Amino acid sequence: MSYTESHAAAVLERCDELAAFSEEEGRLTRRFGTPALRQAGEAVRSWMESAGLSVGRDAIGNVIGRFGDRSRRTLLIGSHLDTVRDAGRYDGMLGVLVAIACMERLRAEARSLPYAVEVIAFADEEGVRFGTGYLGSSVVAGRFDPSALELRDSAGVTLADAVRAFGGDPDRLTDARRDPGDLIGYYEVHIEQGPVLEAGDAPLGVVGAISGQSRARVTFTGQAGHAGTVPMALRRDALSAAAHFVRAVEEVAHGQEGAVATVGELEVEPGASNVIPGRVALSLDVRHTADLVRRSLTERLHERAGAIAGTRGVALGWEVVQEVEAVRCSQELTELVSAAVAAAGHPVLRLASGAGHDAAMLSIIAPVAMLFVRCAGGISHNPAESVTVEDVAAAIEASSRFLKLLR
Ligand code: HGY
Ligand code: MN
Ligand code: MN
């Protein structure tokens, strides 16, 4: 096994170790502010320290390891430690651990880099607990929305209390922003979460753009009633209205080139087999690389929801949860990443990202670049997520070369 492959094997072992830190028995779920996330952060802290980084946490609990004196401008490298429910073990974690592996590999050479490096393990990118993604990177980017502190999770805990319980400080989230003048860029390694690299027989991909996202919470409120006595024609069934809308989401997205739209969460009240559903709340996630297209698609879906609610005599609630613009990666950094991939002996395959990433948030304060790693079948947000040691070695090799090319 080569020197780089030994680093790659260690990265995969660490992904396995992190996968043990879960809120749920038998599957990986690690949301913001939970004891499982704290444990994962402490394991990452120890690996950062053994790589020679000086480590701390910021006001929301991101774990940050620095190499290089404070007078130098800084390259940020990182990804997230939180997961979706029943997650795979590489989405987010791989990027943090490849960054640490590069610092371990460069150790002596790192002193000759003309910039400082900070490896960041973000505390929340998926937004599973409070519904809004990028909580960790939005603090670093200076985009944290203080009104989010009143958001409550499914147990009624506010984000402010969750931050405090996690050891953070909700009163300092807006001033934890990094000064763009200190930064030379942000670099993120991430599994592709799609089938393009596998189809192109390429271990690595260089990301040119990241899709924008519209997230909304949609509610249909009808009238609960007795399943046995209310005639079909007299019902105001909230779940039938929601089901009609879910079909419309699929139909409208299918009709728009390059668009994706998903209803991932659906809550039915009161939720009994012999009661006509009175209220349904669902999540809507709409994406496209062109913001104009994404916004008009979301608007059309809002109109369709209104029409469906109207014909069925139910009330519609539509709450915008988050809007994130599409992002173009830095041409200059992306050229350097491409050169590093080629120098490492791999084909340079360029692609866009349908998935959102912390790089989208960091692009507000720094030029960004991303490197994708092939994942089996393009499967992600699923425990079947997997990568090979050879492809992780390729990512470490290319990333180490990128760090040395950057000036
Ligand atoms: O939803 C996304 O695209 C990312 O996994 N948070
Ligand atoms: Mn994800
Ligand atoms: Mn991710």
What is the pLDDT tens value at each position of the chain, 407 positions in all?
A: 677 888 999 999 999 999 999 999 999 999 999 999 999 999 999 999 999 999 999 999 999 999 998 889 999 999 999 999 999 999 999 999 999 999 999 887 888 899 999 999 999 999 999 998 999 999 999 999 999 999 999 999 999 999 999 999 999 998 889 999 999 999 999 999 999 999 999 999 999 999 999 999 999 999 999 999 999 999 999 999 999 999 999 999 999 999 999 999 999 999 999 999 999 999 999 999 999 999 999 999 999 999 999 999 999 999 999 999 999 999 999 999 999 999 999 999 999 999 999 999 999 999 999 999 999 999 999 999 999 999 999 999 999 999 999 98
pLDDT of residue 163: 98
Length of the chain: 407
Residue to probe by mutation, ligand 1, list 32, 125, 289, 379, most atoms within 8 Å of CB? 125
- The answer to whether the bond into 270 is cis (omega within 30° of 0) is yes
Given its phi and psi angles, is residue 5 left (phi above 0), alpha (psi -120 to 50 degrees) or beta? alpha
Topology adopted by domain 212-324: Alpha-Beta Plaits (3.30.70)
Among the atoms of ligand 1, which is closest to the Cα of residue 91? Answer: 5
- Asked if residue 360 has its Cβ within 6 Å of ligand 1, the reply is no
- Burial of 147: CB neighbours in 10 Å, binned 0-12, 13-18, 19+: exposed
State which ligand 1 atom lies nearest to the alpha carbon of 125.
Answer: 6
Q: Is 222 in the pocket of ligand 1 (CB under 6 A)?
A: no
Ligand closest to 356 (CA) is 1
Answer whether 126 contacts ligand 1 (Cβ < 6 A).
Answer: yes
Please state whether beta strands 183-191 and 74-80 pair in parallel, antiparallel, or not at all (unpaired). Answer: parallel
Residue range 3-211+326-405, CATH number = 3.40.630.10
Whether 82 lines ligand 1, by a CB cut-off of 6 Å, is no
Query: Counting beta carbons within 10 angstroms of the beta carbon of residue 398, is it exposed (0 to 12), middle (13 to 18) or buried (19 or more)?
Result: buried
Ligand nearest to the CA of 188: 3
Supply the pLDDT for residue 20: 98
- What residue ranges do the domains of the chain occupy? 3-211+326-405, 212-324
User: Which amino acid residue places its CA nearest to atom 4 of ligand 1?
Assistant: 356
Residue holding tokens 């996968």?
19
Name, in order, each residue with C-beta under 8 angstroms of 122's C-beta and a sequence gap of 6 or more: 62, 78, 79, 80, 81, 82, 92, 136, 137, 140, 358
Distance, CA 90 to ligand 2 centroid (Å)? 9
Establish whether residue 104 lines the binding site of ligand 1, counting it when its CB lies within 6 angstroms of any ligand atom. Answer: no
Paired sense of beta strands 279-288 and 349-353, if any: unpaired
| CA–centroid distance, residue 51 to ligand 2 (Å) | 26
- The candidate with the shortest Cα–Cα distance to 288, out of 352, 380, 349, is 352
Q: Is the CB of 188 under 6 A from ligand 1?
A: no
Angle between helices 238-254 and 291-312 (to 10 degrees): 150
pTM: 0.91
CB atoms within 10 A of CB 150: 9
Q: Are strands 327-328 and 279-288 parallel, antiparallel or unpaired?
A: unpaired
Question: Which residue owns the Cα nearest ligand 1 atom 6?
Answer: 126
pLDDT the model gives residue 310:
98
**Which atom, in ligand 1's list, is nearest to the CA of 381?**
5
pLDDT of residue 223: 98
| Minimum-distance ligand 1 atom for the alpha carbon of 380 | 5
Residue pair 107/296 in contact by the 8 Å Cβ criterion: no
Ligand nearest to the CA of 380: 2
Distance CA 215, CA 244 (A): 19
CA of 163 to the centre of ligand 2 (A): 21
